[in-house]
Structure 1
């Protein structure tokens, strides 16, 4: 399946590993790390934005996803990262002072992708493979960008493409499995399985990927998700905090064209549930209430 924004927790983990290695600091600014991205006519010319604020979605930067529709031509269209970042930085910020409130923006994680590349001199895929996929033996997880096919057995994804391809046969249930993952990049391009997602979060929460102090910051350095639909109540450093009927849970949702995924985990990683559907609208329609109700019921009915 395409995991969508669950990718963000993977990306954030690599960033925090670089912080642990003292190759990066959470309070380093984007303007210092990526001086070539700063121009008088783009959004980085304003108040400095920190790595922490990118991770938390408190930068105020415009979400490039909102600017894709006018430029969309076909499902297999390749989107260079620089083009997507350019779309995100060309528009004014949602709010001028970073750190003042939460506003989800995929542009944040493309900038983190570029920062990882600059700091390590390796692309994000290589870092993910060496730092996360290989150590945890995530054999069914990949970070594709150029290809549109999903290797091996997989669920086909279906979406409502009527806003983009109104003349498509059955436009409200159109097979979008072969859409280019380049449109998501570090914010959502991961292809994986429910079992691998559960294994990743389990080992992350058990402290296998980050030292205790940084794992604690990842989960507790949160901001209220003002304006977001329930069940999300907070966002940390690449991790959502969800309010469920049986207490707080940690993880992320993933919305990709044709796929909707949720991963819920207890703080200690002992209780988990990962589930996905293979239909999702291309436009943001919020959380599917029926899916969430069934998902939460499954999570909260765990053995005591």
Structure 2
């Protein structure tokens, strides 16, 4: 079973509510408070409590909703079991594959700058990666096919387990790409169907570095983090600790470390983010994620024609796991919700699970996070989806 996939599946759990209370007629983050703001925060808190409800082992949950300029949130359970720290909306966490939208945005900015074309091939851009008998020695793979997961390239995550030694081991990008390219493609002809593969985004990382003479971290900081004021967002590849106040992530590590004490409730916060790289190494907060997606969807990061392509150059995601995605664009999922289509991404990192939903104009948003996942595919993540979809959808409302 794929290591990242099994690490990212949710098993919800027990905890106590710990929502921050608004003060002085304003929301907890200082935003304006509507007349029914207290009712909305109570609703979100109840949904978060549902995610951590007994008998499940999920430590904590967070829901952050934005409707125009109005913000509401609800939390439940704990961010740190050992210290008993309550879950809070301002705590940092590992965002997993939500990172892919950030990486894709940098790639599309290079397209806007005429330094790259979506139809450029990996073979032309990275000739040193084409070796006799490896996956790139076959039919050409384009940048577009890396972005929308139609390359067919083997997901290096599927081959990690034999190489695993410790939670904090450093994974060189070249090693991970080598694992992905050493195996046959999932299907021989690129562009014919969707198959999610983290190898795609490590190759995009390498392309960005070659074109700009700067690593992806520097590009993210200069192009996205600094312009948007994402002060709590970082891209730490070599660092296994999280700076500042943060959520601790928990998982059942029995398949990896069967002799670990408390293996079914193990703190995996120190799992090396180098295992994910450009496909999932981001550390951030719920507020920073909402700010990024709103800026992106409102055209602050990409010209209109490329933003349009990001959202509409989609491929069907038939067979993809819950939640119900109906398509994948250029680094962006299209989800089917009870109140219409939503745009965003899910993110699974060891010990963490995050989803972001947005209306097309970025006005309506929901960020949902929980700090537990299991090594077995229980399908319980559908309950998490059900809870935070309710946080996104007002009854009877169709999002723009």
TM-score (norm 2): 0.75
Is 1:81 the counterpart of 2:150 in the alignment?
no
Change (3 A) 1:22 1:287: farther
3-state SS of the aligned residue for 1:241? strand
CA distance in 1, matches of 2:326, 2:182: 30
3-state SS of the aligned residue for 1:224? coil
CA distance in 1, matches of 2:205, 2:136: 16
CA distance in 1, matches of 2:377, 2:212: 34
CA distance in 1, matches of 2:359, 2:261: 43
Q: CA deviation at 1:281?
A: 2.3
Change (3 A) 1:238 1:287: farther
CA RMSD of aligned residues (A): 1.3
Asked if 1 retains the 8 angstrom alpha-carbon contact of 2:144 and 2:330, the reply is yes
3-state SS of the aligned residue for 1:200? helix
Partner of residue 276 from structure 2, selected from 184, 191, 205: 184
Asked if 2 retains the 8 angstrom alpha-carbon contact of 1:271 and 1:302, the reply is no
CA distance in 2, matches of 1:191, 1:274: 14
| 1:246-265 deviation line (CA, Å, top 9, x unaligned) | 00000000000000000000
Aligned to 2:136: 44
Aligned to 2:368: 275
Aligned to 1:223: 315
Q: CA deviation at 1:229?
A: 2.3
3-state SS of the aligned residue for 1:260? strand
Aligned to 1:170: 262
Is 1:296 the counterpart of 2:389 in the alignment?
yes
CA distance in 2, matches of 1:32, 1:280: 39
CA distance in 2, matches of 1:228, 1:287: 15
3-state SS of the aligned residue for 2:284? coil
Asked if 2 retains the 8 angstrom alpha-carbon contact of 1:254 and 1:260, the reply is yes
Q: CA deviation at 1:282?
A: 4.5
Partner of residue 12 from structure 1, selected from 71, 80, 104: 104
CA distance in 2, matches of 1:197, 1:287: 24
Asked if 1 retains the 8 angstrom alpha-carbon contact of 2:146 and 2:201, the reply is yes
Aligned to 2:115: 23
Asked if 1 retains the 8 angstrom alpha-carbon contact of 2:339 and 2:396, the reply is no
Aligned to 2:344: 251
Q: CA deviation at 1:107?
A: 0.1
CA distance in 2, matches of 1:86, 1:27: 23
Asked if 2 retains the 8 angstrom alpha-carbon contact of 1:258 and 1:282, the reply is no
CA distance in 2, matches of 1:297, 1:147: 36
Change (3 A) 1:302 1:9: farther
Aligned to 2:331: 238
Change (3 A) 1:81 1:275: same
Is 1:92 the counterpart of 2:184 in the alignment?
yes
Higher CA-based Rg = 2
Asked if 2 retains the 8 angstrom alpha-carbon contact of 1:101 and 1:226, the reply is no
Asked if 1 retains the 8 angstrom alpha-carbon contact of 2:356 and 2:365, the reply is yes
Is 1:35 the counterpart of 2:127 in the alignment?
yes
Q: CA deviation at 1:303?
A: 10
Asked if 2 retains the 8 angstrom alpha-carbon contact of 1:257 and 1:282, the reply is no
3-state SS of the aligned residue for 2:372? coil
Q: CA deviation at 1:227?
A: 1.4
Unaligned stretches of 5+ residues in structure 2: 1-92
Partner of residue 108 from structure 1, selected from 200, 215, 219: 200
3-state SS of the aligned residue for 1:135? helix
Unaligned stretches of 5+ residues in structure 1: none
CA distance in 2, matches of 1:63, 1:84: 9
CA distance in 2, matches of 1:23, 1:86: 26
Q: CA deviation at 1:302?
A: 7.7
- The 5 Å alignment of 1:54-203 reads 54-203=146-295
Q: CA deviation at 1:141?
A: 0.1
